[in-house]
Structure 1
Amino acid sequence: MYPRIQAAQRQAPIALGPFGPEVLSYQLVRSVLRDARFQIPPGLNLVVQGITSGPLWDKVMNSLLCLEGAAHQRLRSLTSKAFTPRATFRLHDTMTAVMNELVDRIVETGPGTNTCDVVTDLARPYPVPIICALLGAPREDWQQFSVWADEIFKAFSFIAGVSEIEPAVMRAWGQLDDYVDAMVERRRRSLTDDLLSDLIRAEDGGDRLDAAELRMLAGGLLLAGTDTTRNQLAASMHVLCERPDQWELLTERPELAMHAVEETMRHSPIACGTLRLVSEDAEIGGYLFPAGTMILVNTAAANRDPTVYDDPARVDITRQGVPAILTFGGGIHYCLGANLARRELAEALTVLTRRMRNLRIVGPAPWKPMVSLGGPFSLPIEFETV
């Protein structure tokens, strides 16, 4: 994929792809992401299957991802403080404990050689307990949250037959909503040190979140932060397994964990781009985008723009003096949970490099098609424990 993208980048910062105009350069991608005239097409994965009304459509349309304008800005203003780096750092101990427990399940007693599938044994079970801890849900409910997340996320995926699974999705979503409503009611009586309490406390000029908004945000966090983290952790591990020098460097210098997250996400992101619909005629970088045009904002191409990143195909976790990756988006739709995702991935890699030595891939590690979220289907590895 990347050689074809690089060949196109050498000719122009924009090309015609299978979906229409495709923005490829770092500067143009960043400009489009920050321009409010380029909007997220609401419910596109449902529209392509003929779903444009009904309970599922209403649920998706009222999510933070689909809101635009004043309503979207209001919610971001009220919630942004709950997702600062300082706020997410309080989950450091939880993240470390969860990953250590997952490693404990697969290692033999004492030093020796072990095998596992990074996807099923480490990446898949990792994020849900952290989101539950963030919200304040007890450990005994973690598995139920995982079931809800898996079921509801199907509504946001480009899979066939969404209309057939809609009843099951709505049932799971209703159960999650009821659970969150009960949590909110308990927190209103007794606030604690968790995200839900922070959201209840949140105030901007006397404005507060109502019950429906709290429900939407809590559910949205579970959905947005589950499969993304699972897939990116597996993808980042794949990158590092293929480059033992970088794994050893991170082992010796754990302070590079955040750099390793940025570099592996730059090199091998699980989300390669985002679609945007032009709401009005817009000229950027000398290119005119007519209103109604659907464009693909290729963030993966931007992250490997050779005019911005020296030797972009090389993985270097000590890479310095480069702009931020664009995987998390930009502008008003910049990922609200970016700090949380970075922290989760960094803490996971810190634990894994401390406890695993001499990693090698011992079987096929094919990737999912880049239609929705990518990442390895499986990643079988062998390693020694310290």
Structure 2
Amino acid sequence: MTMTSAAPSVFDAGLPAFKYSFTATPHDIFDDVRAAQSQAPIAIGPLGPEILSYELAREMLRDNRFRLPPGITLAAQGVTSGPLFDKMATSLLGLGGAPHMRLRKLVSKAFTPRATARLHDTIHAVVNELVDQVIDDGRCDVVTAIARPYPTPIMCALLGAPRQDWQLFADWTEEVFKAFNFQADVTFDESEIMRAWGELDAYVDDMVAARRGRLTDDLLSKLIRAESDGERLNADELRMLVAGFLMAGTDTTRNQLAASVQVLCDHPGPWATLRERPELAMQAVEESMRHSPAACIVPRAAAGDVEFAGYTFPAGTFVLVNTFVANRDPAIYDDADRFDITRDDVPPILTFGGGAHYCLGANLARRELAEALIVLTRRLMAPRRAGPAPWKSVLGMTGPTTLPIEFSGESAPAGA
């Protein structure tokens, strides 16, 4: 294809380059990516251009000329067609343009800070119950004992699913999320994912039918009520949104909670500070997501030949917005690699994305993480790592696969 722009192709501009394997963790790639960042705000990585500076990352996330490729997580695993691919491509993440904006307008009317604030008591009950199960042992694996089981009950309570069905949602989410994993080495049974997704859809249909006769204050009722320009959500859209909320709200939170606990355990000063000053919990969440995020990479593709930051990105160019290193840009953050939960007056982190696909559940995620950290720092004294905490690949939802810790006891009773 002939380039009409005078800007050089991003591939022919002599930009710094670096390599890493598809199984590399954020910690594995950091030194090489930081070195490239010190040379240029864009570099060529193993999958294509990577945006490394904070300013350009924020700009690209807001640029509608770069889009989230539909079904990209399945394509990375060799699946480019079929019923599962179609279902993914028509999800809220897969949609673009006017259809996407219509759904976001409708959903935003239901997904408000007030809607998540009412979950305070449920959140505290869930995390305290998990701590109760390990407090007498003086040790636990944070990933399996606390982080992994924590989000599903919260999402179920938000949607209005009864407690006796929480395990069903956990099982469905575990199976369906295999399709959302952006890693080429993950294997799955497509028929099993479609079976689980079909059971989830049927359950949601039953919930919707029950709500239409008696609306409540849960999220599903708010979605049914939501109206924009005379339009409402139809049954297919309600099913799709519930599945999307479960996927996005479960795996992200469980991985980020484990990552946040790890960085706090590795920095005992901030853990003690947060125990004494729980009002810093939201700042601790922001700082742990900046310093040790579970979501490090945002994929984009050029919708056409696009001139950006002085370079031409040919149509279809696959781009990774490396929010991990952008969130540690020394040009933006003072002593960027320092973990400091007292930082204030700093630019917003890029971990929740930006532009049209900015995370709808950002308020809920922040609240879930902050409230969990308040309980954990109050009840567990002087936690310390009791073994290695290896992380998953940076190309997907990352975070520790295991986080064994020991602690000396309870600093306050559960009800304090």
Smaller-chain TM-score bracket: over 0.9
Contact 1:31 1:284 in 2 (8 A): no
> 1:73 is matched with which residue: 101, 117, 124?
101
Unaligned 5+ runs, structure 2: 1-28, 412-416
What's the C-alpha RMSD, in Å, of the aligned pairs? 1.3
Cα deviations by residue, 1:37-88 (Å, 9 ceiling, x for unpaired): 0001111222244422221111111110000000000000001132222221
Aligned-pair CA distance for 1:162 = 7.2
Cα deviations by residue, 1:159-179 (Å, 9 ceiling, x for unpaired): 568786011000000000000
Alignment partner of 2:299: what SS?
strand
Distance in 1 (alpha carbons) for counterparts of 2:275 and 2:358: 31
Give the AA of the match of 1:337: G
Matched, 1:15 2:21: no
Give the AA of the match of 1:167: S
**Which range moves more in the overlay, 289-298 or 338-347?**
289-298
Matched, 1:130 2:157: no
Cα deviations by residue, 1:259-298 (Å, 9 ceiling, x for unpaired): 0000000001111111111012222332332222111110
Alignment partner of 1:246: what SS?
helix
Distance in 2 (alpha carbons) for counterparts of 1:49 and 1:360: 37
Aligned-pair CA distance for 1:186 = 0.3
Distance in 2 (alpha carbons) for counterparts of 1:161 and 1:308: 35
Contact 1:274 1:297 in 2 (8 A): yes
Distance in 2 (alpha carbons) for counterparts of 1:118 and 1:124: 8
Cα deviations by residue, 1:289-330 (Å, 9 ceiling, x for unpaired): 222211111011110000000111101111011110001100
Q: Which residue of 1 aligns with 2:334?
A: 310
Alignment partner of 2:50: what SS?
strand
Alignment partner of 1:106: what SS?
coil
Give the AA of the match of 2:410: T
Distance in 2 (alpha carbons) for counterparts of 1:15 and 1:90: 44
Alignment partner of 2:383: what SS?
strand
Q: Which residue of 1 aligns with 2:271?
A: 247
Cα deviations by residue, 1:19-48 (Å, 9 ceiling, x for unpaired): 111110000000000000000111122224
Contact 1:114 1:385 in 2 (8 A): no
Alignment partner of 2:63: what SS?
coil
Query: Structure 2 matches for 1:1-386, cutoff 5 A?
Result: 1-108=29-136, 114-159=138-183, 165-383=189-407, 384-386=409-411
Contact 2:76 2:183 in 1 (8 A): no
Contact 1:28 1:284 in 2 (8 A): no
Cα deviations by residue, 1:241-268 (Å, 9 ceiling, x for unpaired): 0000000110111001000000000001
Give the AA of the match of 1:385: E
Give the AA of the match of 1:95: I
Aligned-pair CA distance for 1:3 = 2.2
Distance in 1 (alpha carbons) for counterparts of 2:186 and 2:335: 42
Give the AA of the match of 1:188: R
Contact 2:378 2:410 in 1 (8 A): no
Aligned-pair CA distance for 1:180 = 0.3
Distance in 2 (alpha carbons) for counterparts of 1:134 and 1:45: 27
Give the AA of the match of 1:276: R
Contact 2:297 2:394 in 1 (8 A): no
Q: Kindly tell me: are residues 49 and 358 of structure 1, through their superposed partners in 2, closer, same or farther at Cα, counting changes over 3 Å?
A: closer
Alignment partner of 2:381: what SS?
strand
Distance in 2 (alpha carbons) for counterparts of 1:162 and 1:67: 24
Distance in 2 (alpha carbons) for counterparts of 1:377 and 1:49: 21
Distance in 2 (alpha carbons) for counterparts of 1:33 and 1:371: 17
TM-score (norm 2): 0.89
Aligned-pair CA distance for 1:220 = 0.9
Distance in 1 (alpha carbons) for counterparts of 2:294 and 2:277: 25
Contact 1:30 1:330 in 2 (8 A): yes
Alignment partner of 1:249: what SS?
helix
Contact 1:15 1:24 in 2 (8 A): yes
Distance in 2 (alpha carbons) for counterparts of 1:204 and 1:31: 28
TM-score (norm 1): 0.96
Give the AA of the match of 2:179: A
Give the AA of the match of 1:85: P
Give the AA of the match of 1:326: L
Unaligned 5+ runs, structure 1: none
Distance in 2 (alpha carbons) for counterparts of 1:321 and 1:160: 39
Q: Kindly tell me: are residues 320 and 161 of structure 1, through their superposed partners in 2, closer, same or farther at Cα, counting changes over 3 Å?
A: closer
